[in-house]
Structure 1
């Protein structure tokens, strides 16, 4: 059995999570803070959506593992492990903005093999299996493909926020930011999908968890992009990541980020 067998099931998870989340969006919902000394919000929508997806997985594939942002891990030594972030971009969600989405990733033997980002408000789904990536939405279906970019001086750079970075990492990020044509903040998972769609060229982030990134890796790879850590290693463990549509931009960003 290969990852492609799971595509219809991932669509079901996206539908169930979206139906659970949407009644909460742009409503007067209660927000809790998970981070002492900072702000890491969680809502009833996050928890309800992850519960709904976990229930579907347990019923359909009881032998599979699950790793989720809100309820932790179970059976993560299984051949297949589902990686869930019910609302990536909760700060945007509680602000009524649309730069958020549900991340559904599938790992096999520890490697990301399929991923989807579902934005139920805009009715968009971005998916990939490392070999190809697909957009489905109100404007129709189409393949996702990154765009060429000759160098940093032509690049459009995104990060969620430099304020999320440690001071030393922020200083290195600023060095790259000073080289690009345009930098923008925000986007969370949506920015990664825009890179896969050929709209932007570079993303630099830090402090990521596996559930923030695993679903996005097969989408980026499927669209022809590159995603690694700052050290140039596989990114599924999270931490500091660099994502680019063109290897020239990726190499240039890594060189600056790692410059002493």
Structure 2
């Protein structure tokens, strides 16, 4: 970590997470998994920050999405670390695809989520790390290297931000909600009507916030996050524990749970009372 990093050293940060999760005594399997995930996040921090600050060389994939050397370098590093520590685990990453494992666990990785923003010198990009057990996301990290913000969550343990527990708001009235809407270009066909319905709702609307918006939801700053059809599992899985463990709800537009098999449009709400009201607005477009 650089001297300018607002993070604690890895060891101090991990011990803080263990205290937050009420861990005592010898490190168990869940703590080893969390330690590994935090180590992955730390290993990407400087690489992402230095790449962003340097001379960015942006190329484009066949689908038109942006690609930088940092995407490839970080994911390759992560994969090597996971293979060394957990050789039986599967891996799914945006840049290098899927490696099937022999255990119930699969790591789901997006080294630079928001490469479009990253490659244009904007700040709302993230590194996303998730661990799925039997396809269900049970650990998630949303890491924001440039502001030095990190959201960490594990199944049944709550969500942690800046060394403290965070909770989503109790908002239940969509008319009072702060709504984050993804890039309008990501809403295609029928989903564009759902986008328009939510764009006309709420008290305040913000746009194209990326993974950072889902983190802000866990702090009670945003009440609804909407994304369109262009998501894959590596965009989705890390968000799920972070939102759910803070008291929020995250599903597809039909209200179905998200998993390693998920892709496409998703919606997150700050409370169980708000979520069905948001889904009703989306279904008006059906």
TM-score range (shorter-chain normalised) is over 0.9
Segment drifting more, 70-79 vs 225-234: 70-79
8 Å Cα contact 1:116/1:128 also seen in 2? yes
Correspondence 1:199-238 to 2 at 5 A? 199-207=221-229, 208-236=231-259, 237-238=262-263
Distance 1:169 1:77, change over 3 A: farther
Query: Normalising by structure 2, what TM-score?
Result: 0.85
Equivalent positions of 1:161-172 (< 5 A) are 161-172=183-194
Number of the residue aligned with 2:9: none
Q: Note the C-alpha offset of 1:247.
A: 2.1
1:216–1:4 distance in 2 versus 1, CA, 3 Å: farther
Q: Map of 1:29-178 to 2, 5 A cutoff?
A: 29-36=56-63, 39-76=64-101, 78-131=103-156, 132-136=158-162, 141-178=163-200
List gaps (5 residues or longer) in structure 1: none
SS in 2 for 1:107: strand
Correspondence for 2:217 = 195
Structure 2 Cα separation of the partners of residues 159 and 3 of structure 1: 34
Instruction: Mark the CA change 1:162 to 1:130 in structure 2 (over 3 Å): closer, same or farther.
Output: farther
Structure 2 spans left out of the alignment, 5+ residues = 1-27
2:52 corresponds to 1:25: yes
**1:248 Cα deviation (Å)?**
2.7
- Structure 1 CA distance for aligned equivalents of residues 97 and 145 of structure 2: 24
Aligned to 1:25, the other structure's residue is in SS state helix
- Alignment correspondent of 2:283: 258
- CA root-mean-square deviation: 1.5
Once the two structures are TM-superposed, the CA of residue 220 in structure 1 deviates from its matched residue by 0.5
1:25–1:94 Cα contact (<8 Å) kept: yes
State how far apart, in whole Å, the 2-side matches of 1:123 and 1:59 are.
27
1:165 & 1:35 partners in 2: Cα distance?
Answer: 20
2:62 and 2:223 map into 1 onto residues whose CA distance is: 32
Count matched residues: 254
Bigger proportion of residues as strand = 1
Q: Is the 8 A contact 1:26 1:94 kept in 2?
A: no
CA distance in 1, matches of 2:238, 2:172: 27
Once the two structures are TM-superposed, the CA of residue 238 in structure 1 deviates from its matched residue by: 2.6
2:33 pairs with 1:6 = yes
Q: Distance in 1 between matches of 2:117 and 2:268?
A: 21
Tell me the TM-score normalised to structure 1 length: 0.93
